[in-house]
Amino acid sequence: MSREECVMHYKAALAVFKKWLQREIITAEDFAIISTKTAEKYGISSTSIYLEISPD
């Protein structure tokens, strides 16, 4: 998978998780954990500009 595809998959997954957070299906703590695990899965560095830590 290319770098661009990894970022796109990560962003798509996070969009779903943000909706879950807004609907209170998951907590902010859950979102942070899921975001970190998803970033690891797609090889997104912890210093990447693509990383989403807060669900703004």
- Other Cβ atoms closer than 10 A to 50: 15
Q: How far apart are CA 42 and CA 49, in angstroms?
A: 14
Closest by CA to 55, choosing from 42, 6, 34, is: 34
For residue 44, what pLDDT is reported? Answer: 92
Angle formed by the axes of helices 28-41 and 3-22, to 10°? 170
Q: 3-56 pLDDT, tens per residue? A: 999 999 999 999 999 999 999 999 999 999 999 999 999 999 888 888 876 544
- Domains of the chain, by residue range, sit at 3-41
Instruction: Using a cut of 0.85, tell me whether the model's pTM lies above it.
Output: no
Determine phi and psi for 44, rounding to 5 degrees: -90, 120
Q: How far apart are CA 15 and CA 54, in angstroms?
A: 12
For residue 50, what pLDDT is reported? Answer: 84
